[in-house]
Structure 1
């Protein structure tokens, strides 16, 4: 799975678990936010104010409007960035986002970047500019998944600790092989179902870890077989059907893309049927739709 797809998974889980996210990473800010007034994700607004040269690139940035309890500000903005690959100009881009956001809203901004990639020496936290007697230093909060300790994440009661643990296991799985990644995924599932979270929260976290720790077909089938056996007929969480549907949807999308690619390569129909496991009629239907 592409690293940018990983970034988008992070982007989604941050919105799904926003309050847990803030409580995990920014305790002081979390304590001062008036959640009774709600919060608003301003991603469309952010897309409209970033540098035109950046548009079209899949950056996992989030801009959130929140209200404070202490009355010092009516509302502020939280700028969040998930970075899953090396980008030489990352800190400069963070600064560009800052001044463009500030120019538009004239509100206080909290900026935070999470690094989910596997480079030990990559964690840019400042943008510095100096020209003759003009100087600038822009600093923002950062967090490196690779540097986190497994035992501390396991000990946390915050659901987002499990999300971070999934990120850590994904990095370890890439280094240690697919079989090991399967073990990590099963361990995460056991932890998730034992924590006592709400059905909705379990499903959102499961959807994230299922996409992040993506496995080859054979191992993915084994994973779903194992969890269905664990849940059994008495699925107290009520999520096994949703998980199965999620799995089937992912598989269908995967097969659809494969068939489209093979059709583009003008592979014979019978060979596409054999490779995809779909019927001849299903492949012909995809072929017909692709022409329109």
Structure 2
């Protein structure tokens, strides 16, 4: 029997790698404007999987970690963490918070995180995680 999460993950991962610039420009234009698209995007999925082993196998989620350079011409780089969520998940904000801090610990920089919510609800839109809630 095939794994529905695996069937979902593969096409998204491939599409994000092939069309990362148009994806960012369409869905996150304010983030896309900060990227120097003349420089190559480097995908760091293996690093993300080491930090969060369940990221590659979570049901209905795709995590991509891309290293991009800023449009200001500095050698500084920005990690862009993309989470694609196809159903409501009460743990999404906490999971993204955890990924961000693990990435900050490893790279010394807080990544830019964006989430694509693909569920049917127009009202579910987690915006932040607050510890203790």
Normalization by structure 1: what TM-score?
A: 0.40
User: Distance between the aligned counterparts of 2:32 and 2:122, measured in 1?
Assistant: 29
Q: Check conservation: 2:68, 2:78, Cα contact below 8 A.
A: yes
Query: Structure 2: 5+ residue runs without aligned partners?
Result: none
CA distance in 2, matches of 1:34, 1:24: 16
Larger proportion of strand: 2
1:103 aligns with 2:111: no
Question: How many residues were matched structurally?
Answer: 129
Which residue does 2:45 correspond to in 1?
A: 43
Inter-partner Cα distance in structure 2 for 1:56 and 1:78 = 16
Structure possessing the higher radius of gyration over alpha carbons: 1
Change (3 A) 1:48 1:118: same
SS at match of 1:95: helix
Shift of 1:8: 3.6
Secondary structure of the residue that 1:112 maps to in structure 2? strand
Q: How far apart are residue 14 of structure 1 and its match?
A: 1.5
Structure-2-length-normalised TM-score? 0.82
**1:79 to partner: Cα distance:** 0.3
Write 1 or 2 for the structure with the bigger share of helix.
Answer: 1
User: 2:16 corresponds to which residue?
Assistant: 14
SS in 2 for 1:61: strand
The corresponding residue for 1:86 is 88
Q: Is the contact between residue 83 and residue 114 of structure 1 (CA under 8 Å) also seen in structure 2?
A: yes
